[in-house]
Amino acid sequence: MKEIKRIGVFTSGGDSPGMNAAIRAVVRASAFYDLHVYGIQKGYEGMIEGEINRLEPSDTANIIQRGGTILKTSRSQRFLEPDGRKIAYENLVANDIDALVAIGGNGTFAGALKLYNEFGIPIIGLPGTIDNDLYGTDFTIGFDTSVNTAIEAVDKIRDTADAHNRLFLVEVMGRHSGYIALYTAIASGASAFLIPEAETTIDGLVEMLQKSLRRKKLFGLIIVAEGNHIGDSAEIAKQLRERAPQYDIKVTTIGHLQRGGSPSNADRILASRLGYEAVTSLMNGEMNCMAGIVNGELALTKFEEAINKNSSPPSHLIKMAEILGM
């Protein structure tokens, strides 16, 4: 294998708190090992456009606490085509880049896998997504911050729910993964939750509300993942109003607040650790895999497995949340 002297780093897909901490770790670890790092703007789109610039350690000063990503991010339609990927690779060659660190989620790693298979460039992926939906790591960069943001919002909504005896449906992100909704429900003491991985029904919700009514409890919280099986929060609220008219039902969508903000301590440490591990893994000849942390230890998982293997919340955690919410 060619000796690695220049590493390109980029962020792609949805942003997540901690991406900047990961970039910082890649740049500073590389500098320690006398490697040059080049930042690629706007993910794969910037790779096609040739927006590639040298990054020095000083460029990463004062960013560990910042949300978003200093390298920007985007989703590239052109990269989905072979011609687009060929242009991207030619730009990497023109800048003498020997290897890549790709920070993102499923889509980012799917693109990295194509780039590796077609051109053989060594790539290590870092799991940067709030959804926590990648196999091969206990937590993804940004998940902890996202849950903390949701919990803070739900705690404030609870005050209003209690004061007015209202039932709030609080919708959080999670089209394909219920991790954010599940963790938010557990930590906020919600009465119920709706996630893609659990087949909750309107009948089940109505039964739960009737039990609460018999206890003279008229306020509560239901945490709704946007990808649940019943529908969006507004439609669920409409059905509940018709079948449980005793409740004053309101809907709140937290939305993109969950993607922004200063990363938590846990996300800063996770991102720093994985950024460092990405550099040392490339130096050790690893490639075509994602770096994660499993049971406190570094774990390298092939892109195919990270993308395709099951990463759903464990059933015992779902059952516990259901019991505690009663």
Which tens digits make up the pLDDT trace of 214-270? 777 777 899 999 999 999 999 999 999 999 999 999 999 999 999 999 999 999 999
pLDDT, position 156: 96
Q: Where exactly are the structural domains of the chain?
A: 6-142+263-308, 144-259
Task: State mean pLDDT over 170-183.
Answer: 96
Q: Please provide the average confidence, as pLDDT, over all residues in the chain.
A: 95
- For the domain made up of 144-259, the CATH class stated in words is alpha beta
pLDDT, position 45: 97
Whether residue 55 is predicted with pLDDT greater than 70 in this model: the reply is: yes
Interior/surface letters 123-162, b for 16+ CB within 10 angstroms, e for the rest: bbbbbbbbbbbbbbbebbbbbbbbbbbbbebbeebbeebe
pLDDT, position 272: 98
Same fold, 6-142+263-308 and 144-259: yes
Task: State mean pLDDT over 201-220.
Answer: 84
The pTM of this model reads 0.95
pLDDT, position 169: 97
**Of the residues 15, 131, 133, 144, which is catalytic?**
131
Report, at the CATH architecture level, how domain 6-142+263-308 is classified: 3-Layer(aba) Sandwich (3.40)
**Quick one: DSSP state of residue 316?**
H
pLDDT category at 1 given cuts 50, 70, 90 is low
Question: Percent of the chain having pLDDT more than 90?
Answer: 89
Q: Is 144 a catalytic residue?
A: no
